[in-house]
Structure 1
Amino acid sequence: MTQLSQLSPQPLWQIFEKICSIPHPSKHEQKISAWIQQFATELGLDVKEDKVGNLIIKKPATIGMENRKGVILQAHMDMVPQKNNDKEHDFINDPIEAYVDGDWVTANGTTLGADNGIGLSASLAVLASKDIQHGPLEVLVTIDEEAGMTGAFGLEAGWLEGDILLNTDSEDEGEVYMGCAGGIDVNIELPIEWEATDTTKSAVNVSLNGLKGGHSGVDIHLGRANANKLLVRTLSLLDIDFAIANLQGGSLRNAIPREAEVTLVIDGQDKDTLVNALKDINSLFLAELSKVEPNILLSLTDAPLPEKQLAKVSQSAVINSISGCVNGVIRMSDTIDGIVETSTNLGVVLTNENAVSVKCLVRSLIDSARTNTQNMIASTFSLAGASVTFTGAYPGWEPKDDSEIKDILRETYQGMFGTLPKIMVIHAGLECGLFKDAYPHWDMVSFGPTIRFPHSPDEKVKIDTVEPFFNLLVEVLGNIPNKN
């Protein structure tokens, strides 16, 4: 990773290189939190940890800027842990193997953590600098943004004093975000019954691999295939007798699933028929989706014969309900051109002892549309006898027409780069909407460098957008107005 530390701006990239060396998947942020606290303490800065694990670091204003409005730089410390199927990597203990690949920085077979590691690095680089001019400054580093927004939910009033929040969690240089979708988790438990396996049968594993996956908010409009949906569709197309012994796919409700696998019990004499059927179905999928998913691969391997298999009534319920579950873009926005209004991602399928568990994440710019979509999903699975619960609901972030920081950032950007940034609303969830409960007075914007394919092992950050992002951040800090 020594290549990274030579990139510009060096302070930012050196910090990012260090962050990559410290495991920090969602729900396991203890090591990165300890390092950030040590980093701040060595700078002589005040750092506090709140009851849920968020960090608040305060840096006094530079001389002559004490009367400026207070600014909060905000990033999250966790990253999405996704890896390719053939990659050996323990996200709790192993460092991210980041490297320069042409115009990009990416990782070897895993997510990179540029989401939100670059924004975190920029915030810490500002804290470390002795040259950057700014008013009263606070850095808010939240936990668990990627797996439930626990940090944002748990942020309490009274910890922070600033008036303006600069969120660094956006992924397109030249775009400024003033709003985002809200979301909710749909948790399905579909009861199942088992029966003993016929010992004269054979077992095989059928795997679906090669999909691109991606962020279920940022990438949902690209039409990428969902491995869970495709594999269950495969089962519905088979013309042989089979029984499901295990079905699983995806690992995160906010990542479009790239891989799924099912263990089938079949007559041994049907194996060749199954192999040929999988080839035909693979060709069918490629004929439909090859422009988006050119590497779809259905494959078959032998498996040990399990002791039990799903009863026929349970198997039908699983196949029919997952087949019928809505997935992908539900509706495009009528008011914001080119932006998804409502979507859903069937992110995880897992077979347990007593049920098949399914997790979906619904996002929408409109709360009533989100409610309608979650109820559609619940209705589909309820018909199959499943129990459905809704958890983790978070509000959207409604754009503020009279935002002072939006105008400052837009004018600063134009002055630096000779063009106006795009003022946007993002379909992904940002923590800004949740901050409004504890800090309703905050004036907020979100911006960042160009990051592609977050939440997937293809994640990468474009090198030549990082320096403009950081320079813009520095310039905006210098342009913050005085308090009234």
Structure 2
Amino acid sequence: MNAHLEQLAPRPLWRHFRTLCNTPRPSGHEAALVAHLEAWADGLGLPHDRDAFGNLRIRKPASPGHEKAPGVILQGHLDMVAQANADHPHDFTRDPIATHVVDGWLHARNTTLGADNGMGVAAALAILEDDTLVHGPLEALFTLEEESSMGGALNLAEDWLEGEMLLNLDSEDRGQVYIGCAGGADVVVEAQLPTSAVGEDETLVRLALTGLTGGHSGLDIDKGRGNANRLLVRALRRLEDVDARLVDYQGGTLRNALPREAFATLALPAEEVEAARTRLAALEQELRDELAGVDDDLRLTLEPGVAADGTAALSREASRLLVNALHVAPCGVERMSTAVPGVVETSNNLGVVSLADGRFHLCALVRSLRDSARADIADRFRALFELIGARTRVENAYPGWTPSPESPLLARFCALHRERLGVDPAIKVIHAGLECGILGAKYPALEMISFGPLIRGAHSPDERVEIDSVAEFWDMLRALVEDLADPKA
């Protein structure tokens, strides 16, 4: 499948990306890909090993005469975000990603593409097999479960890597180089809320908010896009005085993707259904007006629900308190940075919300350039949801990456960028969780930069990569590896 990819340039990189598209690799299901890469490395005679968590390292000795050059680590993560359009059945643990080209961009068909971070992984593999390249000692580090928890980086073995410079290949902007990133943490809220049977005088309805663009919960958090959980809660607030009670709720699928859809089943008096429909139609128009030009396909619909024996709904008081808590929970951009103009300092994404049989679960992803601000958002969640008897915990916290603008590695990259492309790269700090912060905490002597091709729509079925930018990225990566092979350059 995806044979057309091997006709794109540079062919070695696209050939490896084809393998990544054809090998299912959602977070937590990277084993088949790891086994394939180990067999591939064996075929080339390249030594490889794994740490206790399963992160994979493949090494390549230096070119003759360059053994004393600083060791270079090429780093990316093997997993991808698993998102598909609601009307497109796709099993990310079994089905390959189907790709096609439109106007110079590579897209997937109704799913995420996996260019994040498949482009970086494919480039590292192509570097390892390039026998025409002059290089110092090389290590390729492929981490696991980056998209779900940063688990691979957080559990990376210490005193394992040997290189002195790390090239993170997980950035998504052409002509830019990243030297810092936000830290983050998952805030998980859970509760068992009181329920009672749906009464004979109540009827079930199904409320759906669909059609949002979605996107990356860090890179796109400041784009003004709708969050399906936040917007569906507004709809539930609009129905409070018609005595609607929550039966179930499901919004979002990943804490690091802006939720595009959310659904709720409600029990309400039969005579209030038309009033509810009228109110929701008015709200749909309000939301369309608010999000015009950003989320023009938003839809808010109310359909008959399906009743089952013993169906229960939250008590009216529990339903009211839960909806109110969700309505005021932190969501979106909290503060812009004063130290790095134009960059979000602190944000939160209400990524996954669910309710079934009275069991409530929420997973939000807080990001910040400041660990203290990240901790404060988590504490606000705890204080808020304690009011409804919920338990809050913080998981998978990871540090940010402190910029080092005087880095010699950065200076060499910038000089090569000027030489080959005629312009200076833009030096950036990103509001996203690159693994560099975690790796730098484990290996504080590492010099690091991050760069990559132009990717848009990451973490959504709109994900796409600009084909020309891939060639530019590849050219810069090869040039930088060769430049670093000369320790006196």
TM bin (shorter chain): over 0.9
The equivalent residue for 2:156 is 155
Size of the alignment, in residue pairs?
484
Counterpart-to-counterpart distance in 2, 1:138 and 1:156? 15
1:463 aligns with 2:467: yes
The alignment's TM-score, normalised by the length of structure 2, stands at 0.97
Listed as ranges, the matches of 1:63-462 within 5 Å are: 63-238=64-239, 239-306=241-308, 307-462=311-466
Q: CA deviation at 1:386?
A: 1.4
The runs of at least 4 aligned residues of structure 1 exceeding 6 Å deviation read none
Instruction: Decide whether the 8 Å contact of 1:114 with 1:451 is kept in 2.
Output: yes
Look up the equivalent residue of 2:425 and give its one-letter code: P
Structural mapping, 1:9-24, within 5 Å: 9-24=10-25
Contact kept? 1:111, 1:457, Cα under 8 Å: yes
The Cα of 1:483 is off from its aligned counterpart by 5.0
**Given residue 336 of structure 1, which amino acid in structure 2 is its aligned partner?**
V
CA deviations on 1:177-196 (whole Å, 9 max, x unpaired) are 00000011111113310101
TM-score, normalised with respect to structure 1: 0.98
What do the CA deviations read for 1:306-348 (whole angstroms, capped 9, x no partner)? 4211111210111010001010000101011110000000101
The secondary structure found in structure 2 opposite 1:220 is coil
Q: The residue matched to 1:262 in structure 2 has which SS?
A: strand
Q: Which amino acid aligns with 2:151?
A: T
Aligned AA for 1:203?
L
* Distance apart, 1:286 and its partner CA: 0.8
Offset at residue 300 of structure 1 (A):
2.0
AA paired with 2:249? L
Do the aligned residues in 1 keep the contact of 2:84 with 2:90 (CA within 8 Å)? yes
- Kindly state the Cα deviation for residue 256 of structure 1 after the two structures are TM-superposed: 0.7
Which of 457, 477, 481 is 2:481 aligned to? 477
Q: Deviations over 1:381-438 (max 9, x none)?
A: 1222211111111000001133111001000111000000011100001111111233
CA contact (8 A) 1:190 1:318 kept: no
Change (3 A) 1:27 1:138: same
TM-superposed CA distance for 1:482, in Å, is 4.7
Question: What is the percentage of aligned positions where both structures have the same residue?
Answer: 44
Q: Judge which range, 458-467 or 58-67, deviates more.
A: 58-67
TM superposition shift of 1:440: 1.2
Q: What CA distance in whole angstroms lies between the structure 2 residues aligned with 1:439 and 1:95?
A: 35
The one-character-per-residue Cα deviations of 1:186-244 (angstroms, maximum 9, x if unpaired) are 11113310101113432111100000111111110101111011001101112523221
Letter in structure 2 aligned against 1:181: A
CA distance, structure 2, for counterparts of residue 460 and residue 445 of structure 1:
23
* Match of residue 30 from structure 1: 31
Q: Deviations over 1:119-145 (max 9, x none)?
A: 000000011111122111010000000
SS in 2 for 1:217: coil
Q: 2:79·2:117 contact (CA, 8 Å) conserved in 1?
A: yes
Shift of 1:35: 1.0
Looking at structure 1, the residues matched to 50 and 255 of structure 2 have their Cα atoms a distance apart, in angstroms, of 28
Deviation at 1:63, TM superposition (A): 2.2
Structure 1 residue 98 displacement after superposition? 1.3
Report if aligned partners of 2:312, 2:357 keep a CA contact under 8 Å in 1: no
3-state secondary structure, aligned to 1:147: helix
Cα contact 1:167–1:432 (8 A) shared by 2: yes
Does the 8 A contact of 2:247 with 2:356 survive in 1?
no
1:481, distance to aligned residue in structure 2 (A): 5.5
- Structure 1 pair 313/327, CA: closer, same or farther in 2 (3 Å)? same
List alignment gaps of at least 5 residues for structure 1. none
Would you say the 8 A contact 2:181–2:432 is kept in 1? yes
Deviation at 1:380, TM superposition (A): 1.7
Q: CA deviation at 1:274?
A: 2.3
Q: Deviations over 1:336-393 (max 9, x none)?
A: 1110000000101011334311111110001111112222222221222211111111
Distance 2:88 2:72 in 1: 41
State the SS of the aligned residue for 1:118: helix
The answer (yes or no) to whether the contact 1:185–1:362 under 8 Å persists in 2 is yes
In 2, Cα distance between equivalents of 1:329 and 1:372: 14
Residue identity in the other structure for 1:262: A
